Structure 1
């Protein structure tokens, strides 16, 4: 909970009773590597705060899986449009490593608007944070592969060593073999 409180304090100041009230609405969730937090076509009914591990947002196309972006420890796991409008998701959220999250249901989030005056601002900032991750994924894909890998390593320090090479290759939109070759060349 300490990590969550520190994260939220970047956006708003919660009194101890307000944070306790929020804490009473949260539940802890554990995902194993490969488990889905959300599948395409389902409605995103929760917003999660990652306290351990890494998730990814992905979709499937004619060539297989495509990783859009990663959700590391200390970040928010949600598909904003599906959550906000309670509409079917067009992407998946999957655990890349074993994960722990604090989960807040949509219904409980709505109740917080009445209980915490700054809640609207907080939710807006959280969704902006997620949009930043989405934009990063799009921005990276406009670069050549070496630049993408370099920017990935800057944005997600150490993550390349924690996730399967296939997942990183999917994000970079290259084959695992190409990624291995490029890493070797860059190491020289």
Structure 2
């Protein structure tokens, strides 16, 4: 819990009193590598902060899964569209490696919004971060080649290349694993 407190103190200047309210609502959950955090069709009940691990978002498919997002430690994570609407999720959320999440339920987050001075700022920041990641990915898919997407990924998020299986990276940049192999050969 100290990691999330340090993050909030650094980024939000949270008061001791607000932290006490916030901390009293946090639930720590651990997920082993390759475990499902949220299945397609379930409703997202949590906004989480990743203390340790990597999360993958994907659309399950009979032929192959379509990976469309990764989130790393020290970041907020949620199937946010499902969380906001409290309706079933259209994709799956998975822990790629052993993962520790500090989680707030939807109802507890509403309490924090209403009883703390900093709650709305933290909620807004989490929302903005999730939106910016989504927007950047969409624009990349529309404006860049697969090779440029891979190179950007490699320069912006080198941890991805080390932590995530290449088949997930290929899906994320919109190519087959074979095409990714050819891209990697060209640029090496």
What is the TM-score when the length of structure 1 is the normalising length? 0.90
The answer to whether the 8 Å contact 2:67/2:171 transfers is yes
Tell me the distance in 2 between the aligned counterparts of 1:78 and 1:8: 18
Tell me the distance in 2 between the aligned counterparts of 1:42 and 1:135: 24
Alignment of 1:40-55 (within 5 A): 40-55=40-55
Tell me the distance in 2 between the aligned counterparts of 1:106 and 1:71: 20
**Bigger CA drift: 82-91 or 112-121?**
112-121
Tell me the distance in 1 between the aligned counterparts of 2:180 and 2:120: 42
Tell me the distance in 2 between the aligned counterparts of 1:62 and 1:155: 31
Stretches of structure 1 that go unaligned for 5 or more consecutive residues are none
What is the TM-score when the length of structure 2 is the normalising length? 0.90
Match of 2:169 in 1: 168
Tell me the distance in 2 between the aligned counterparts of 1:163 and 1:79: 20
The answer to whether structure 1 residue 150 and structure 2 residue 151 are counterparts is yes
Distance 1:19 1:116, change over 3 A: same
Match of 1:83 in 2: 83
Match of 1:115 in 2: 115
**What's the Cα RMSD here?**
1.8
**Bigger CA drift: 82-91 or 55-64?**
55-64
CA shift digits 1:77-135 (9 cap, x unpaired): 11222111211111221111221111111111111123212312321221111111112
The answer to whether the 8 Å contact 2:18/2:117 transfers is no
